[in-house]
Amino acid sequence: MITTVSGVGYYHGGDVLYTLRDTDGETWHEECLRIPGETKSTFEHLDACEHLDLVSISEPRVNCLRLVIAELAPSTRDDMLARPVEDAHLIEHGSRDRLFEVMWPRYVSYNVLNESYFGRTDSGDFHGRAFRLYSKSHYLDFLKTVENVQYLLPNHKHWRILCINHIIDVAAEQDPNVARYGHA
């Protein structure tokens, strides 16, 4: 059965629970909603997006960070007057692009940087492409200098989300909950 998510909640601030439109208000854990044969997680779907856009950032509760991220795709429009570079394409929101919610129930620190000031050489040990998880980074090294954080740091992880206009760094002990809302 294919249906639409009508609501998203969290089990005691942890696992993502979904309310589906056609299930009489029942809540479902993400693991129960996988498409048969589908092996990619929501995290992997977000990481595989070619271009991302930070739609909103908020703190719905104390020390809880919520990001809404939209996938962007090259435009099929051909009405650009002049292309600044050969084979350049306008990147914009489209009706088929996916919308993701990334939520950390608790965070230690986050930073948002204008992507124009981000160097293209990225030092550190990480895996992922657009949604990176670091085992070593300058951001974690910086946090070691902050009083009270340095004692907890071995348990912290560093995530980075590369968007077209923003670079978002988050340090937290828990992995984020990543939910997909459908299309932007």
In this predicted model, what pLDDT tens digit does every residue of 127-168 receive, in sequence order?
999 999 998 888 888 888 877 666 665 678 999 999 999 999
Contacts (Cβ under 8 Å, ≥6 apart) of 132 = 126, 159, 160, 161, 162
Q: In what order do the strands lie in the sheet with 166-172?
A: 109-114, 166-172, 157-162, 131-136, 125-127
| Residue 160 buriedness (CB in 10 A; 0-12 / 13-18 / 19+) | buried
- Burial of 164-176, coded b for 16+ CB within 10 Å and e otherwise, reads eebbbbbbbeeeb
Which pLDDT does position 118 carry in this prediction?
77
Give the model confidence (pLDDT) of 99-135 as tens digits. 888 999 899 899 999 988 877 666 778 999 999 999 8
Which pLDDT does position 40 carry in this prediction?
60
Comparing CA positions, the residue from 104, 102, 99 lying closest to residue 181 is 99
Query: Is the CB of residue 74 less than 8 Å from the CB of residue 164?
Result: no
Cα 16 to Cα 177: distance, rounded to the nearest angstrom: 6
Grade residue 23 by pLDDT with cuts at 50, 70 and 90: confident
Which pLDDT does position 10 carry in this prediction?
73
Cα 5 to Cα 9: distance, rounded to the nearest angstrom: 11
Domain ranges of the chain: 1-36, 40-183
Cα 106 to Cα 81: distance, rounded to the nearest angstrom: 46
Comparing CA positions, the residue from 170, 159, 164, 156 lying closest to residue 126 is 159
pLDDT exceeds cutoff 70 at 176:
yes
- pTM strictly above 0.75: no
Q: What mean pLDDT is reported for the chain?
A: 78
Cα 1 to Cα 99: distance, rounded to the nearest angstrom: 21
